[in-house]
Structure 1
């Protein structure tokens, strides 16, 4: 989960596109990632230098560096997928680029790279891991096509994978400082699950106050992080290890707690301070691996508090049994006071919503949808144009230009102008710093030390794109010199500025179809998920499926919010394409909150109150009105008249 950004001072009058470029992330220093970074690229390069195979060391260090950029906080199992999939794509790109560069002329090579950009750009719309894989595919393809190395493509790909694989080994083997409770290999999962209970406590404490909405968003983020942490490949051959069983039971026990807390926050009534004490004790028990002890029982005066009390009892039972399989509560009976509204919601879904697919179907829909087409068009055009311009200028390191354009044009990496400003500033600072270092450090030992130092700084530098660019620039320039090429700081600056100009032009070109495709696609997914959740609740579906649909609804809403925030920080020409999307997202969030409150009330009483039904009807009508009055992105949110 990304760290929170440091806000600008109150009263700031900076335009959004400039304000975003000045914001940075905050949080504790990820010391374990710093250690991994220091032990990854630098030692690999040193071993290659000692063996007299500098070029292979450069490729392995490049793989380790790109893997380090994807080595974010979280669980080990999630890291295998988050780092490994992009590494595989990068190895494939390196092989393809090497063979294409060796056998094709400039025109054919440009066409091949453009086609790769079109496909990889569209795939980027499928999610963050797919985006990382597409980025590494294109960067490695450009490097393979243009970097003069003696090894064939298959050998380059193999050592690229070895570099990334070495960092994955470090990620799996090294313990996190201060996280030795129980089995240290599950420290990321443990921290993520404990964060859910802390977020539940925070929401209960904020209920009835001005910060309840912020706390509910924090709960969604915590649940997303825990879901990702537990979703990766098994760390043991047997899936029934006691530590893993216990963590899964503890996560499952947090779902009804989160549901009850959301329903109580929707009601808006302040709660006694002791209400939040139980989830806090559960969070401490997750972190230490100990027992949760006696939990304070809330007053059972309203349906939300009764649901919270039942969820606390269920959680205490799951904790005390040490991870044995936890039963799902029995389904509620068929309600009888909401059928008219249920029929209306079903008609809404049948008229304007497509049923959500799973797996390959979801991926195909994301890739071929409006967001995927827009991604593909921009990435392919920038990548191909960069390759053509660089080859026409006969730059010695021409591959830097298209590789830089890839990082700049990806819409999921931040607003366009913010990326360009940060990339230009970071490249200039990094290149100037390397000029000084290259003049005073011995070769190759000093350059290897620079690579190791930069590898350690990458996890910290990812808090700001300009800082990350500066560190990566120094690291790449050091790798180039170790590989036997001359110092290239000034060339690096020139090619980066050229890439910035290309991306600024392409980023503001009209695209086939409507603009704001990514925002519209994310908002449509959120609308689909919200309505599927509503229909399930009103038809008294089973609780396990309900919790899964609730998770999907809040997760897609968070993704839509992130896309809307990025679009809002663009220049006005682009930002206006997302007009009205924020209001639609806010209404969808209120609809999902209300649906959650309805679910809790139905479990307790079997029927809805007039307040619930009226609120649902108003929100559904509001969504239709917003669709008719909003911009192109919001108009594709899949909303129809009930």
Structure 2
């Protein structure tokens, strides 16, 4: 869950929405309904509900990335959540309230210490804390080992359903990511000479970053004698070269005719023909027509480079750049320590409030803290507001259902529908995902035999927990987002200058690696700047102008790319002053 929810949705960061993930929605509905139906038919309702919680968390982490990464993430999440559930359950069974509080604080310290070390570690840390909150807040009858096993069974069901397509489309995800590079390159060429050119070039960078991450494991290991994988590797490396050519053509700033902007699509048709045989007859005709027309286009160094690259797709293997994208830690050791302490303090305050307010608060307050306080998943204020809005909507939705009927089968049907909604929300909007999650949790609690009127209490508890997180964070660490944006902008500037300084004398493969690193870091810096602007600033204190600095560095990289292809004299690639527009942001 990232609430128990998965990664922050793309829509919350201003990235265009992707198509509705129908397959994920179906998986979410089935994974949540099946355990509950089995429990209802066999009479083992409590283990079924715990398995449903595991499926709920699994659905929240079910993504569209390569199958191996999905299995790693879901497996790590399941093991962490089961371990947390066991620890919380043992603390609750001890009968000492202090044991529950101590277990929650200890798990928060552990979760916080690993959460800023990468996406997988963050997911595992959060679900460790979620497992402890559920285990210590919901009494589960039966032997101590049954609940963790039931939770793992629910996660396992999601793993099987999510990874099953690997059997019939093993490299389908990689293929889609690489093809997206060629489509983005065609769109960037179509936008050349227009005000939308830079935005189109940034979308090409984003597509290359995504393809690089998806293909990463295949690029770092020795080539296997699998024809589809070999074709994907070649297409990806050609796409990296295409990114340089597209940047140069965008920099040249001239509108390009249709038969030039379609060259990337014809290259993709040659490098990655449709499955089941060669490219379709229409694609082959377009490719031949394109080759016949390439000689008639207006001459420029960028167009000549594009023609040369298109010709290379019909012959030898292109130069292969270095294959590892750089990674940047969220902030470093000091930030990890500060976040760890703040998370533990927030969990402790939430648990003390729960004890003071008595039931039906229980686990809901610390659980909401675990959901909301994820500064590596997006701006905290937006996340907290979406959490509160989603909780209100989820309570209203399930309240409407229960007003009509309390039949168990109807409620399980509602869980399936909200599971599908949550699977869509995880990819599109955090509030939508929280809506589905809240409704599902309230049904699960009801199936456990707790029939109290919890709706108003859950809304108030969510608002209280979100308030605890926001007050603690912005009182004790108000400039965390600005610090990260400044650090990533400085790193991006360094990468851009390194590309400018080393590209003229570098071999093609090294030049492509330098260029990919520079643009990747610039994209990271731009996202961090958008994140920082999404958080409230201190009154009277202006934020640095990161965007202007990043845009200047992008223009520098475009000029270097153009010069590398002979499009401009060296003097045209003017340097960006180091640190331009980036003020130091104090601790």
Q: TM-score range by the shorter chain?
A: 0.7 to 0.9
Is 1:313 aligned to residue 298 of structure 2?
no
- How big is the shift at 1:81? 3.7
Distance in 2 (alpha carbons) for counterparts of 1:384 and 1:418: 23
Q: Which residues in structure 2 correspond to 1:252-331 (within 5 Å)?
A: 252-284=237-269, 286=272, 288-289=274-275, 290-291=278-279, 293=284, 294=287, 295-296=290-291, 297=294, 301-317=299-315, 326-328=317-319
Deviations 1:455-488 (A, max 9, x none): 1111223322222211111011111112222243
- How big is the shift at 1:502? 1.0
What is the TM-score normalised by the length of structure 1?
Answer: 0.78
Distance in 2 (alpha carbons) for counterparts of 1:484 and 1:271: 67
- How big is the shift at 1:369? 4.0
- Name the structure 2 match of 1:523: 489
Is 1:591 aligned to residue 556 of structure 2?
yes
Distance in 2 (alpha carbons) for counterparts of 1:250 and 1:536: 26
Selected match of 1:204 from 189, 194, 219:
189
- How big is the shift at 1:403? 1.2
- Name the structure 2 match of 1:570: 535
Structure 1 contact 122–368 (Cα < 8 Å) conserved: no
- Runs of 4 or more, structure 1, over 6 Å off, are 1-4, 512-515
- How big is the shift at 1:401? 0.8
Name the CA shift for 1:593/1:374 in 2 (closer, same or farther; >3 Å). farther
1:508 is paired with a residue whose SS is: helix
Greater shift in the superposed pair: 512-521 or 386-395: 512-521
- How big is the shift at 1:119? 4.3
Distance in 1 (alpha carbons) for counterparts of 2:343 and 2:260: 50
- Name the structure 2 match of 1:168: 159
Deviations 1:252-275 (A, max 9, x none): 221111111112212323333321
2:565 is paired with a residue whose SS is: helix
Name the CA shift for 1:531/1:372 in 2 (closer, same or farther; >3 Å). farther
Distance in 2 (alpha carbons) for counterparts of 1:169 and 1:367: 35
Distance in 1 (alpha carbons) for counterparts of 2:534 and 2:481: 15
Selected match of 1:557 from 522, 531, 537:
522
Selected match of 1:385 from 349, 357, 364:
349
Name the CA shift for 1:457/1:240 in 2 (closer, same or farther; >3 Å). farther
Structure 1 contact 371–518 (Cα < 8 Å) conserved: no
Name the CA shift for 1:273/1:149 in 2 (closer, same or farther; >3 Å). same
Distance in 2 (alpha carbons) for counterparts of 1:575 and 1:185: 54
* Aligned-residue CA RMSD (Å): 3.5
Name the CA shift for 1:46/1:556 in 2 (closer, same or farther; >3 Å). farther
Structure 2 contact 92–100 (Cα < 8 Å) conserved: yes
Is 1:626 aligned to residue 581 of structure 2?
yes
1:288 is paired with a residue whose SS is: coil
- How big is the shift at 1:563? 2.1
- How big is the shift at 1:367? 6.3
Structure 1 contact 78–233 (Cα < 8 Å) conserved: no
Name the CA shift for 1:565/1:515 in 2 (closer, same or farther; >3 Å). closer
- How big is the shift at 1:308? 1.8
Selected match of 1:611 from 571, 576, 582:
571
Q: Which residues in structure 2 correspond to 1:376-455 (within 5 Å)?
A: 376-455=340-419
- Name the structure 2 match of 1:353: none
Structure 1 contact 124–130 (Cα < 8 Å) conserved: yes
Distance in 1 (alpha carbons) for counterparts of 2:231 and 2:45: 47
Structure 2 contact 8–377 (Cα < 8 Å) conserved: no
Structure 1 contact 118–381 (Cα < 8 Å) conserved: no
Structure 1 contact 207–269 (Cα < 8 Å) conserved: yes
- Aligned positions, number: 563
Structure 1 contact 77–229 (Cα < 8 Å) conserved: no
- How big is the shift at 1:577? 7.2
- How big is the shift at 1:121? 3.4
Distance in 2 (alpha carbons) for counterparts of 1:476 and 1:544: 52
Note the residue ranges of structure 1 that are not aligned, 5 or more in a row.
6-19, 177-182, 319-325, 332-356, 637-642
Name the CA shift for 1:519/1:610 in 2 (closer, same or farther; >3 Å). closer
Note the residue ranges of structure 2 that are not aligned, 5 or more in a row.
1-6
What is the TM-score normalised by the length of structure 2?
Answer: 0.85
Selected match of 2:477 from 492, 511, 518:
511
Is 1:484 aligned to residue 449 of structure 2?
yes
- Name the structure 1 match of 2:4: none
Greater shift in the superposed pair: 191-200 or 241-250: 241-250
Greater shift in the superposed pair: 134-143 or 578-587: 578-587
- How big is the shift at 1:37? 1.1
Structure 2 contact 364–461 (Cα < 8 Å) conserved: yes
1:479 is paired with a residue whose SS is: helix
- Name the structure 2 match of 1:33: 24
Distance in 2 (alpha carbons) for counterparts of 1:189 and 1:358: 16
Distance in 2 (alpha carbons) for counterparts of 1:594 and 1:101: 63
Deviations 1:214-264 (A, max 9, x none): 101111111122223224689xxx953322222222112211111111122
Structure 2 contact 544–581 (Cα < 8 Å) conserved: no
Name the CA shift for 1:106/1:468 in 2 (closer, same or farther; >3 Å). same
Q: Which residues in structure 2 correspond to 1:314-393 (within 5 Å)?
A: 314-317=312-315, 326-328=317-319, 366=330, 368-369=332-333, 371-393=335-357
